[in-house]
């Protein structure tokens, strides 16, 4: 009886296995989220933040006294002469307990400066991690747009090949009717072959773009990877009112790499103060208490010995560096050099940010002009191609003239497609430096 129920169940199981798995379509936000969660550079930056946090906590804990406890048990044996004059091998044992504590009262303000330094270093690590996250997000956007561009290129190339195939069929019919020559027919055939190669190159570019995006997301390469295609048909020129200087001033207030460079300079300043503090005296307070028991002491019980042997101790230690083989002076000199290096690094970061913004804004202006010119050229080539198509179908112009117009249209369409995606990325890159979210 059970077999009657088992067979339908197995049938349903195999039928469900044959159903095609639904392909996940990745949006830009999902791609960015995936990259920020799995990208190894981002994860490494996160570990640097954790290390800086541990260093900060350890530096703050160094203000408190240390406390150590120790317990010791000793066993010893001796061969000594007894009252009868004979030698006897006897043993004894002893126990000791101690508790010690110490705290640094003054060490040239090195502890205070170390606490401030590690606190700034933690903030610096957080900013560096955020800068890495933003850079990865911009890379994801760039690769995402590359996949969209390559996908449109494949679609347009396929449409052009289909159109040429129809024209080739028409040319074949005219060849049979002796309306056109074999040379004219071969011209159309050659155009079809060229467009097949163009389609193959577009498909190759799409494949490589998809692979680059998957690798950036730390996803194993597979054929079912797909991204959402937003509506970018309405993308056009936007008014850029701010010049590079205004955008740069805004970026100085929000860009994490700028704040990080400033903190690195301050951290280097504390390093100099710590090195100078090592040249000052160090004052420490030490205190402890100990007690012991020995089996040799006859007549005194264990608790009684511990009570009578109770020994507290306290003391101050002043350590003054006199001659350290020039080590302390060298450390101060190196710290001062590192401080000057941090100032140069900060200025280099500011200069690089300014240059990036100037380049990005110039790219927006240039991309806008290129897009506007490409639109005008595409409209003109489209109108010219429509007229040429109608005249070719009527047999007024030769295939050579027709293919010339079609080639011009293909080039104009390709330039328009490329200029539109260049314009989109240029806008987004400029928004990136202004702290705006990366969306499409």
Q: Region 34-40: what's the mean pLDDT?
A: 93
Model pLDDT, residue 11: 44
* Residue 423, domain member (yes or no): yes
Supply the mean pLDDT for the chain: 88
Residue 4 lies in a domain: no
- Minimum mean pLDDT range among 50-64, 313-327, 390-404, 412-426: 390-404
Q: How confident is the model at residue 271 (pLDDT cuts 50, 70, 90)?
A: very high
Lowest mean pLDDT: which of 190-194, 391-395, 429-433? 391-395
Of all residues in the chain, what percent carry a pLDDT higher than 90?
66
CATH of the domain at 383: 1.20.1600.10
State how far the Cα of 219 lies from the Cα of 35, in Å rounded to an integer: 9
For residue 326, the enclosing domain spans 27-70+111-281+321-433
Per-residue pLDDT at 334: 95
Lowest mean pLDDT among 3-12, 140-149, 298-307, 416-425: 3-12
Residue 402 falls within a domain, yes or no? yes
Q: Which of 18-32, 195-209, 308-322, 391-405 has the highest mean pLDDT?
A: 195-209
**Residue 75 lies inside a defined structural domain of this protein:** no
Q: What pLDDT, on a 0 to 100 scale, did the predictor assign at position 22?
A: 57
Is there a domain that residue 307 lies in? no
CB 139 within 8 A of CB 213: no
Residue 309 lies in a domain: no
Identify whether 78 is part of a domain: no
Q: What mean pLDDT comes out for the span 276-305?
A: 86
The tens digit of pLDDT for each residue in 82-123 reads: 677 677 777 778 889 999 999 999 999 999 999 999 999 999
The answer to whether residue 406 scores a pLDDT higher than 90 is no
Q: What is the model's pLDDT at position 123?
A: 97
Residue 93 lies in a domain: no
Number of domains in the chain: 1
């Amino acid at each position: 009886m059970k077999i009657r129920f088992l067979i339908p169940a197995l049938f349903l199981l195999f039928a469900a296995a044959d159903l095609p798995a639904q392909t996940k379509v990745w949006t830009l936000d999902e791609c960015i989220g995936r990259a920020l969660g799995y990208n190894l550079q981002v994860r490494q930056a996160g570990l640097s933040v954790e290390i800086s946090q541990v260093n900060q906590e350890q530096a703050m804990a160094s203000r408190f006294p240390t406390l150590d406890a120790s317990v010791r048990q000793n066993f010893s044996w001796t061969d000594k002469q007894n009252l009868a004059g004979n030698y006897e091998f006897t043993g004894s044992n002893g126990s000791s307990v101690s508790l010690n504590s110490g705290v640094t009262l003054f060490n040239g303000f090195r502890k205070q400066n170390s606490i401030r330094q590690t606190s700034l270093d933690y903030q610096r690590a957080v900013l560096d991690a955020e800068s890495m996250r933003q850079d990865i997000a911009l890379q994801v956007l760039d690769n995402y747009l590359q996949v969209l561009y390559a996908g449109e290129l494949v679609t347009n190339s396929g449409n052009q090949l289909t159109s040429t195939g129809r024209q080739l069929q028409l040319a074949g019919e005219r060849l049979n009717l002796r309306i056109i020559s074999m040379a004219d027919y071969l011209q159309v055939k050659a155009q079809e072959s060229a467009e097949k190669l163009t389609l193959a190159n577009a498909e190759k570019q799409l494949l490589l773009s998809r692979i680059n995006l998957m690798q950036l997301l730390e996803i194993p390469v597979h054929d079912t990877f797909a991204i959402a295609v937003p509506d970018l048909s309405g993308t056009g020129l936007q008014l850029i009112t701010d010049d590079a200087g205004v955008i740069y001033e805004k970026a100085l207030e929000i860009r994490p790499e700028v704040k990080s460079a400033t903190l690195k300079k301050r951290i280097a300043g504390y390093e100099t103060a710590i090195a100078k503090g090592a040249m000052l005296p160090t004052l420490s307070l030490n205190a402890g208490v100990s007690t012991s028991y020995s089996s040799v002491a006859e007549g005194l019980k264990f608790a009684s010995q511990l009570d009578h042997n109770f020994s507290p101790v306290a003391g101050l230690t002043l350590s003054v560096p006199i001659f350290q083989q020039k080590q302390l002076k060298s450390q101060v000199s190196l710290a001062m050099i590192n401080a000057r290096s941090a100032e140069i690094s900060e200025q280099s970061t500011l200069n690089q940010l300014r240059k990036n913004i100037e380049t990005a804004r110039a790219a927006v202006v240039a991309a806008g002009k290129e897009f506007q010119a490409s639109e005008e050229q595409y409209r003109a080539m489209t109108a010219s191609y429509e007229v040429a198509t109608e005249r070719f179908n009527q047999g007024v112009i030769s295939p050579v003239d027709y293919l010339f117009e079609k080639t011009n249209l293909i080039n104009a369409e390709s330039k328009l497609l490329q200029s539109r995606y260049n314009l989109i990325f240029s806008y987004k890159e400029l928004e990136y430096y202004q702290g705006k979210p990366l969306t499409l």
